[in-house]
Structure 1
Amino acid sequence: MRLEINCQDRLGIAQDILDILVEHEINLRGIEIDEVGKIFLNFPNLEFSEFQHLMPKIRKIDGIKDVKTTPFMPVEREQYQLQTLLKTLPDPVFSVNTKGEIILINDAALKYLEIPKEKVINTFIGDLLKGVNVSRWMEAGKPEAKAQKIKFVEQDYLVDMLPVIVPDTGGKSIMAGAVFMLKSEFRLGQQLTAFNQGNVDCFISIHAESKAMKNLIRDAKKMAELDGPIIMFGETGTGKKLLAKACHEESKNKGGEFIVVDCLMLSDKDSDVELITRDGGKNGVVELAKGGTLFLEEVANLSSELQSKLLTILQSSTYHQKEDVSDYSVDFRIICTTKTDLGALVQEGKFDENLFYRLNVFSLFIPPLRERKSDVIGLAERFVKEHSLKLGRQIPRLTKACVDFLQTYPWPGNVRQLKNAIYRSVSLLEGNELDKQHIQLPSCSAATHVISEEFNGSLEDEVKKFEKEILLRLYPNFPSSRQLAKRLGLSHTAVANKLRDYGINKKTAKIV
């Protein structure tokens, strides 16, 4: 039987309880005193019926709040939890005393050793682990955790050597032993493979603290589950490719390849060579993307000939190899990106209107970093951590001056520029603080993205261009003049006139 006694933190209260037990000749096997005002008693050879008459006496002790039975003592629970953990761990684990003698070993280690546990206990750990001086490590003043490649049962392992530290009075600490955890090359390979597999949430790698990015991820997740093409609008460096890859991994086509094509690099000398069959009879991008996703970067760079060929493939949902009369069905999803206003290119006759509507079934606009300032510091801290871990160095903290600078800089190169700036700074950093002076960026005012210093038109022309850009960006999310007017704080008539003047409507903006 075990008791849990809730009580006040009063000097002598434990002695009062023990006096009652001595008076009635109760054999106590164990006692534990918790810091939060609990005393636990263990009577292994006593039934509750034999002790029940003493419960009222204990409750009458000054400071006792409650007395009840409990299924286990805290130390017992911890011991069983530790035993269960050691028993189920697939990797060899040893615990040693301050002399390096083994006092605890798990089943996995015994399995590899193939000798009885009794013959392992009290032996020196250094006799089993070859390639590391355990005595020298343990005899150091304050040994730190260490990872090292060693030999165990004639095989290569990575061992984590972890000191067991017990706090002492006066704020000091004492080394009470150590734990050795081993990982085989096979197990490390398994874990790396699992680590590199897609996340359950494929969008988790995309930082989204701002409302704009949260809305974007929400819409992207919905679109990823559907079959239609997706076109992503956004400036250079906003992360269009990363978002496209997440959409692929979240789609039913995730089992296929994610084929990336830079449209600027496609040649229009022979569109069949690029899209259907490459040099040497190798498969073209359409064939390579079969069952997966064809990702077209900067689709506005497609030549007229390639636009026509791609449109034919999408319209017929088939293609045929050169000098082959057989038709092959199209079996891929298409995602494309652009930093150019495709609607304007269509009006100028520079982009095929039918292809535009074929591609623009679902659309996503990735906001520039300057419009999602609440994401900047989170992204910066992520990049600092990533690069520090790659370099094997301590992760530096961002100073307030650095944080203020990062938040006020307009980031014309967006997330890519931030990532490159952080990587360079961490690589050259000496010390554990990343300050403003360590971030080397070109001088850039917050208005840089609005107008170029070398613009050729009049101020009125540039203002109209910027105004049209804002309306084009907002219209898909506010697809009526009344909704858009409310969003911009203008009158319905003023917004309706501007939409008409700029030719912005549900057809040109392609509302999903």
Structure 2
Amino acid sequence: MRIKILCQNRVGILRDMLELLVDYGINVARGEVGGEHGNAVYLHCPNLMNLQLQALRPKIEALQGVFEVRKVGLMPSERHSLELNALLGALEFPVLSIDMSGAIVAANRAAAQLLGVRVDEVPGMSLSRYAEDFDLPALVRANKARINGLRVTIRGDVFLADIAPLQSEHDDSEALAGAVLTLHRADRVGERIYNVRKQELRGFDSIFQSSKVMAAVVREARRMAPLDAPLLIEGETGTGKELLARACHLSSPRGQSPFMVLNCAGLPESMAETELFGYGPGAFEGARPEGKLGLLELTAGGTLFLDGVGEMSTRLQAKLVRFLQDGCFRRVGSEQEVYLDVRVICATQLDLSELCARGEFRQDLYHRLNVLSLHIPPLRECLDGLEPLALHFIDQASRQIGCALPSLSAEALERLAGYHWPGNVRQLENTLFQAVSLCDGKLIRPEHIRLPDYGTPPPLGNFSLEGSLDEILGRFEKAVLQDLYARHPSSRQLGKRLGVSHTTVANKLRDHGIGKEG
């Protein structure tokens, strides 16, 4: 058990605390002094039980200068280590800490993959085993200052290295403790420059609004962004739900705080739970002895974006409801309540109201998430802005590839406009990147636009004209509903598209047997 004792900084106060623990036969494995103002003592007592703490608490609080005793999940050093590991693990490029003998002290996951070993095998390894003609300690001693963009070869691959010396306030070579080495692949420098340029435009300015419908969505989002309430963003895959969520975060009072993302659809239930809520020390076999911070705690004061929330398990839904209601939760395997201030933005491709009607999504969670809502239209409903959007992506692709800016032929634009875009804006961006790489740098022609034919809506002309007018109209109505249901797969979405009530659409879908296949 770990306890935090809020107290004054007086001579002998720690001795008085330890004497009480000795009287109860409690061993202290580790102790730290911390708190926001250095006014707290943290003690890690592995054999301290809850009943013993209940008996000890009033006696410790009776000591002169002691204000409060409470259980905590982590020591300050443990929390700092967890946060540092989480931040390093999130970086996609290799980062290594090297001492002045040339040995690797620590590395992130990307660096371990580069070296071909596990993360726990890295400490103690010599950098010279992998780097050709690169004496980092001698370089650091000679420069004693940060070096950016140094070309180095590691395991046969060329990298541009940023080197940050670790040096105390004393300005002499003996004070050098080593350096932090950040590696970037030389063949991806153009991509890095492109990504930097992309981030020059932040928030809503990064969302292209050539379509009137999309411009209206952004206007709504601007009004909702500053409101400190849950936000639900609905839209098909590739429509830019995360981009809109990030823009809302940046335009809110939380804009300078963390923005964390969890894809609920891409993780098993147990992994999603520990990623979101974290776990306590020794929560399960194979768990870290100090526990793990979840995304919620790492997002404290900021915004958490939950993508694919419609596919979240019922267990996670229940825990999320409680957090939205009370602002608190428990880590997996822990009894301690954690209180946090985090705004939650969710996104889904599914119709949550229909999932609620089928009992597949909690209604109380749906009502808490749906305080504010935005619907991003699919690209096929925003074709009025297709040409400027396509030219924007062509410009971006040519910058990233480093080629001349090509033009878009009228025939190629016509091909783009005639496609149904199941992958929406993301698919359009990828398609045009490929087109720019295929063309001769002057003109994008139809043959450069390579589009898969999967998910193509069935044609409306394949129905019989036999029988009465009512029978012909019935077959035509079925063909129309089949065509549109593939793009609006719920009675509410389809009703909105056709301008009728969802009840009317649901009855017609049932009459024609549409939507029963799944």
User: Normalization by structure 1: what TM-score?
Assistant: 0.51
Matched, 1:354 2:392: no
1:424 maps onto 2:424 in alignment: no
Return the letter of the residue paired with 1:345: L
Written as runs of structure 1 = structure 2, the 5 A alignment for 1:159-308 is 199=201, 202-269=203-270, 273-278=274-279, 279-280=287-288, 281-308=291-318
Question: Are the equivalent residues in 2 in contact too, given 1:198–1:249 (CA < 8 A)?
Answer: no
2:331 corresponds to 1:331: no
Letter in 1 for 2:445: D
Q: Indicate if the aligned counterparts of 2:296 and 2:304 stay in contact, CA closer than 8 A.
A: yes
Does the 8 Å contact 2:222/2:251 carry over to 1?
yes
Tell me the CA shift for residue 259 of structure 1: 0.8
The letter of the residue matching 1:235 is E
Is this contact kept in 1: 2:260–2:303, CA < 8 A? yes
Unaligned runs of 5+ in 2: 1-146, 150-192, 280-286, 461-474, 509-518
Residues 463 and 412 of structure 1: is their aligned pair in 2 closer, same or farther, counting only changes over 3 Å?
A: same
Larger Rg: 1
| Amino acid across the alignment from 1:379 | L
**Shift of the alpha carbon at 1:351?**
0.6
Evaluate the alpha carbon distance shift between residue 340 and residue 192 of structure 1 in structure 2; reply closer, same or farther with a 3 A threshold.
closer
The Cα shift of 1:233 comes to 1.0
Contact 1:207 1:375 in 2 (8 A): no
Q: Equivalences for 1:13-28 in 2 at 5 Å?
A: none
Aligned equivalents of 2:404, 2:195: Cα separation in 1? 26
CA shift, 1:463, in A, is: 6.0
- Pick closer, same or farther for the CA change 1:474–1:254 going to 2, 3 Å: farther
Q: CA deviation at 1:269?
A: 3.2
Identify the residue that residue 472 of structure 1 maps to in structure 2.
Answer: 492
- Aligned: 1:388 with 2:398: yes
- Equivalent residue number for residue 409 of structure 2: 399
Are residues 393 and 360 of structure 1, via their aligned partners in 2, closer, same or farther at CA, if it must alter by over 3 Å? same
Instruction: Choose which of 313, 318, 330 in structure 1 pairs with 2:328.
Output: 318
Return the alpha-carbon distance in structure 2 between the equivalents of residues 324 and 445 of structure 1: 47
Contact 2:354/2:490, CA 8 A, preserved across alignment: no
Deviations 1:199-255 (A, max 9, x none): 4x6211111122211110000111111011111111111111111111111111111
2: CA distance, partners of 1:332 / 1:449: 48
* CA distance, structure 1, for counterparts of residue 237 and residue 148 of structure 2: 46
2:268 and 2:503 map into 1 onto residues whose CA distance is 42
CA 1:400–1:198 in 2, change beyond 3 Å: closer, same or farther?
closer
Cα distance change on mapping 1:238 and 1:339 into 2, 3 Å: same
Supply the AA of the counterpart residue of 1:243. Answer: L
Quote how far apart the aligned CAs of 1:267 are: 3.2
Superposition CA RMSD, Å = 3.7
What is the rounded CA distance, in whole Å, between the counterparts of 2:200 and 2:459 in structure 1? 35
Shift in Å, 1:318: 1.1
Equivalence map 1:24-63=2 (5 Å): none
- Give 2:447's aligned amino acid: Q
- The match for 1:412 is 422
Shift of 1:388: 0.8
Aligned to 2:504: 498
Note the alpha carbon deviations across 1:241-285, whole angstroms, 9 max, x for none.
Answer: 111111111111111211110102333237752322255322111
CA separation in 2, counterparts of 1:389 and 1:156?
Answer: 23
Mapped to 2, the partners of 1:197 and 1:443 lie a distance apart of 33
Work out the CA distance in 1 between the residues paired with 2:238 and 2:364: 28
Verify the 8 A CA contact 1:232 1:365 in the aligned structure 2. Answer: yes
Taking the aligned partners of 2:404 and 2:196, their CA distance within structure 1 comes to 25
> What SS does structure 1 have at the residue aligned with 2:304?
strand
Q: Secondary structure of 2:412's match?
A: helix
Q: How many angstroms apart in 2 are the aligned matches of 1:192 and 1:432? A: 21
Q: Alpha carbons of 1:228 and 1:272: their partners in 2 closer, same or farther (altered >3 Å)?
A: same
SS at match of 2:421: coil
Residue 498 of structure 1 aligns with an amino acid whose one-letter code is T
Q: Which ranges of structure 1 fall in alignment gaps of 5 or more residues?
A: 1-154, 158-190, 451-457, 477-483, 489-493, 503-512
Write the mapping of 1:453-492 to structure 2, written as runs, cut at 5 A: 466=484, 472-473=492-493, 488=499
- Residues in 1 aligned to 2:354 and 2:441: alpha-carbon distance in whole angstroms: 50
- Structure 1 residue 431, shift from structure 2 partner: 3.5
Letter in 2 for 1:472: R
SS at 1:498 equivalent: helix
Quick one: distance in 1 between partners of 2:478 and 2:368? 32
Q: Partner of 1:236: helix, strand, or coil?
A: coil
1:111 match? none
Which stretch shows the higher mean deviation, 271-280 or 354-363? 271-280
| CA–CA separation in structure 1 for the residues paired with 2:258 and 2:350 | 27
Contact kept? 1:266, 1:302, Cα under 8 Å = no
Tell me how far 1:193 sits from its aligned partner: 11
1:24 maps to none
SS at match of 1:343: helix
Deviations 1:339-391 (A, max 9, x none): 11111110111111111111111111111101000222222111111111122
Label 1:395 to 1:270 Cα distance change in 2 as closer, same or farther (>3 A): closer
Residue of structure 1 equivalent to 2:449: 439
Look up the match of 2:374: 364
Paired residue total: 295
1:322 Cα offset (Å): 4.9
Provide the C-alpha distance between the structure 2 equivalents of 1:271 and 1:443, rounded to a whole number of angstroms.
34
- For 1:207 and 1:411, locate their aligned partners in 2 and report how far apart those are by CA, in whole Å: 17
